[in-house]
Homo-oligomer: A and B are copies of this chain.
């Protein structure tokens, strides 16, 4: 599989991630992750598995008033059915604030050919 197709799949995945978040469709958001995915949010324990990830995003997005996220890939490396993305996200909060974070996401291609988030970790950028 060529890198260009994986880049396209990751870009699509990121666009869907933003769209699901904006619609507050947390089941749809969680379905973008693998069944065995792990999310590592700042100041929190590791969140394991799709069901827990759905609950995490619903709670987290509601508590900070997260209304949108725009994800931008800065670097993508592919190794077989695994891809490692480094990126930045601009968040939009209901308060009007737009904090930015940086992240590493490991994508995994499933037997169905779809690429899903398998490991997801982020932290803050300075000065915002």
Contacts and interface: CB of A to CB of B under 8 A. Distances in A.
Interface of A: 38, 40-46, 74-75, 77, 79-82, 84, 86, 102-104, 106, 118-119, 121-126
Instruction: Determine chain A's interface SS by DSSP, over half rule.
Output: strand
Contact of A82 (B44, B84, B123, B124): B84
Nearest to A124: B43
Contacts of A46: 74, 86, 102
A40 B126 contact: no
B84 A119 contact: yes
Contacts of A86: 38, 40, 46, 119
Contacts of A74: 46
Contacts of A82: 77, 79, 82, 84
